[in-house]
Structure 1
Amino acid sequence: MIENVKDISDLVGLSRLKGRAFEIKAIHPADLETYVVQGWEFYKKLTKTIQVKRNKQHSLLLEDRVWNMFFKMGFSQLSGQGGGQLIINPKEKNSPKSQIDIVAIDREVAIAIECKSSADYRKRIQFQEELGKFSQIKDPFIKAIRNNFSHDGVKKQPVFIMFLSKAIVNENDKERAKQSNVILFDDVDLTYYENLVNHLGPAAKYQILSDMLPGKEIPGLSIKIPAIKSKMGGNNCYTFSISPEFLLKIAYVSHRSKGKASDINTYQRMLTKSRLNKIREYLSEDGIFPTNIILNIEKNRLNFQRIKQEGDQDDEINAGILGWLDIKAAYKSAWIIDGQHRLYAYSGHPKSHKSKLLVMAFEGLKPSKQAELFIDINAKQKSVKQSLLQELFAELHWDSDKLSDRVSAIISKSIQDLNNDPSSILFNRIQTTDGVKDNVRCITLKSLFDQIEKKGFFIAKERGGNVLEYGPLWAGNNNSTLKRATFILNVWLSEVANHNTVWWNLGSAPGGGLSMNDGVAAIFSVLRNLFELLEKKGLKLVSCSDQELADIIKPYSVALGQFLAGLTEGQRKSFRDLRGIQGLTYRTMQCQVGMRSIMPEFNPDGLDEWQNLQKQQTNKNAKEIIDQMEVNLQNNIIDELKLNIGTEDEIWWYEGIPQTIRTKVSSRMEEDKNKRGGKEYYFDLLDYKKIIHDNWEIFEKKFGYGKGGKDKRTEWLDFINEGRRIVAHASSGKTVSLDHYQRLQTLHQWLGIQINEVEEEVIATDE
Structure 2
Amino acid sequence: MSLLKQIEIDQIKGKLTDDVSQLGKLYKAKKNEFIFLSVEHSLVEDYLKQGWEVEVELKTKTRLKKPKSHHKQFEDDVWCQFYELGYRFLNYDDQFTLPYGKDPEDKKQIDVIAIDKETVIIIECKSSEKPRASSSVKTEFEGLEKRLDGFKKSIDQIFGKGLKIKYIYATRNLRIDPESIEIQRLIKTKSFYYNDNTYEYLNSLIKNYKGASRYQFLGLMFKDQLINTDKIEIPAVEGMMGNKSYYMFSLEPHLLLKLGFVLHRTRANEAEMPTYQRLLVPSRLKGIRKFINDGGYFPNSIIVNFSQKKHKVYFEPSSRSGDSKSRFGMLKIPNAYAIAYIIDGQHRVYGYSDTDFTKNNTIPVVAFTELDSIEQLEIFMSINENQKAVSPSLRGTLERDLYWESDRTDTRIKALRSSIIIELSEATNGPLYNKIEVGEDPAILKFTPFSNGLLNSGLLPKAKGNKYDENSVLGAVYDTNNHNHKQEMNRSRKSLVQFINMCYGLVEEEYPEIFESEKSLILSNRGSYAFVSLIGSLNYWETVKKGTINNKSTPSERFEAIKKYLNSLLSQLKVLSDEEEETLLSKYGTGADLRWLRNFQMLVNREFPEYEPLELVEWKERQDKNLQSQGRQLGVEIEKHIKHEVLDKIQAIFGKNWELEINSIKRKCLERAEEEKEKNYKEGLGSTDIEWTEMFTINDYKSIIDKYWTRKPEEQEDFKTFQDEFSIDIGEGLGSKAKSIKWISRFNSLRNSWAHEGTKEKGLSKEEVIFLERIHNNIIPELQS
Q: Do Structure 1 and Structure 2 share a fold, with TM-score over 0.5?
A: yes
Aligned length: 609
- Matches of 1:407 and 1:29 in 2, distance apart? 70
1:208 corresponds, among 217, 220, 238, to 217
1:306 aligns with 2:308: no
* Aligned pairs for 1:265-664 within 5 A: 265-299=274-308, 301-312=312-323, 315-316=324-325, 320-384=326-390, 388-416=394-422, 418=424, 425-426=431-432, 441=444, 444-454=446-456, 456-459=458-461, 464-465=466-467, 471-472=476-477, 476=487, 484-496=495-507, 502=513, 514-536=522-544, 543=552, 554-572=563-581, 575=584, 588=597, 591-592=600-601, 594-595=603-604, 607=613, 614=620, 618=624, 620-621=626-627
- Give yes or no for contact 2:313–2:332 (8 Å, CA) kept in 1: yes
Query: Kindly tell me: are residues 75 and 542 of structure 1, through their superposed partners in 2, closer, same or farther at Cα, counting changes over 3 Å?
Result: farther
Cα distance in 2 for partners of 1:550, 1:328 equals 54
Indicate the larger mover: 380-389 or 449-458. 380-389
Deviation at 1:62, TM superposition (A): 1.0
Q: TM-score, normalised by structure 1?
A: 0.67
Structure 1 299/431 Cα, relative in aligned 2: closer, same or farther at 3 Å?
closer
Equivalent residue of 2:487, what SS?
A: coil
Q: CA deviation at 1:42?
A: 5.6
Distance 1:342 1:64 in 2: 33
Q: Partner residue of 1:120?
A: 130
What is the 5 A alignment of 1:11-22? 13-14=22-23, 16-18=25-27, 19-21=30-32, 22=34
Quote how far apart the aligned CAs of 1:594 are.
4.5
Please state how far the C-alpha of 1:242 moved relative to its aligned partner. Answer: 0.9
Where 1:164 maps in the other structure, the secondary structure is strand
Q: Given the superposition, is the C-alpha separation of residues 594 and 467 from structure 1 closer, same or farther in structure 2, using an over 3 Å criterion?
A: closer
Given that residues 24 and 53 in structure 1 are in contact (C-alpha distance below 8 angstroms), is that contact kept between their aligned partners in structure 2? yes
Q: Which amino acid aligns with 2:361?
A: S
3-state SS of 1:370 partner? helix
Q: How big is each residue's C-alpha offset from its partner over 1:605-641, in whole Å with a ceiling of 9 and x where there is no partner?
A: x64896599479737348769999xxxxxxxxxxxxx
CA offset at residue 139 of structure 1?
0.7
2:688 is matched with: none
- Structure 1 residue identity aligned to 2:359: H
Could you list the per-position Cα deviations for residues 145-170 of structure 1 after superposition, in whole angstroms to 9, with x for gaps in the alignment?
A: 13541789866665432221122335
Give the deviation of 1:63 after TM superposition. Answer: 0.8
Deviation of 1:190 after TM superposition, in Å, equals 0.9
Question: Structure 1 CA distance, aligned partners of 2:144 and 2:619?
Answer: 70
More displaced stretch, 44-53 vs 549-558: 44-53
Q: Secondary structure at the match of 1:195?
A: helix
Question: What are the Cα deviations for residues 188-215 of structure 1, in whole angstroms up to 9, with x where unaligned?
Answer: 3213213323544554344234334433
Gaps of 5+ in 1: 629-744, 747-767
Please tell me whether the aligned partners of residues 15 and 71 of structure 1 are also in contact (alpha carbons under 8 angstroms).
no
- In the TM superposition, residue 4 of structure 1 has moved relative to its aligned partner by 3.0
Distance 1:544 1:155 in 2: 59
Match of 1:85 among 97, 104, 119: 97
Q: Aligned partners of 1:23 and 1:462: how far apart in 2?
A: 61
1:401 deviation in Å? 3.8
How far does residue 34 in structure 1 lie from its aligned partner after superposition?
Answer: 4.0
Question: 1:218: Cα distance to partner?
Answer: 3.3
Read off the aligned partner of 1:121 and give its amino acid letter. P
The whole-number CA distance in structure 1 between the counterparts of 2:541 and 2:439 is: 36
Counterpart check, 1:228 vs 2:237: yes
Structure 2 letter corresponding to 1:322: F
SS in 2 for 1:329: coil
User: How much is the aligned-residue C-alpha RMSD, in angstroms?
Assistant: 4.5
Q: Distance in 2 between matches of 1:481 and 1:115?
A: 38
Matches within 5 A, 1:142-161: 142-146=149-153, 148-149=155-156, 159-161=166-168
Read off the aligned partner of 2:245 and give its amino acid letter: N
For 1:311-355, what per-residue CA distance to the aligned partner results, in whole angstroms no more than 9, with x for missing partners? Answer: 23xx41xxx321211222333321112221221233344532332
Cα distance in 1 for residues equivalent to 2:606 and 2:499: 24
Q: CA-to-partner distance for each residue in 1:109-139, whole Å, 9 max, x for gaps? A: 5543221122222333xx31x4423443431
CA distance 1:548–1:231, shift in 2 (3 Å):
farther
Aligned residue type for 1:406: R
Measured in 2, the distance between the counterparts of 1:163 and 1:152 equals 24
Please report how far the alpha carbon of residue 78 of structure 1 lies from its aligned counterpart in structure 2 after TM superposition: 4.0
Q: AA paired with 2:108?
A: S
Q: 2:108 is matched with which residue?
A: 98
Match of 2:175 in 1: 168
Q: What is the identity percentage for the equivalent residue pairs of Structure 1 and Structure 2?
A: 25
- Alignment CA distance shift 1:106-1:218 (3 Å): same
Change (3 A) 1:582 1:9: closer
| TM value normalised by structure 2 | 0.65
Question: Mean alpha-carbon deviation: is it higher for 98-107 or for 540-549?
Answer: 540-549
Instruction: Return the letter of the residue paired with 1:364.
Output: E
Give the distance between the partners of 2:427 and 2:25, measured in 1 at CA: 32
Contact between 1:250 and 1:329, CA under 8 Å: does it hold in 2? yes
SS in 2 for 1:380: coil
CA distance in 2, matches of 1:532, 1:183: 45
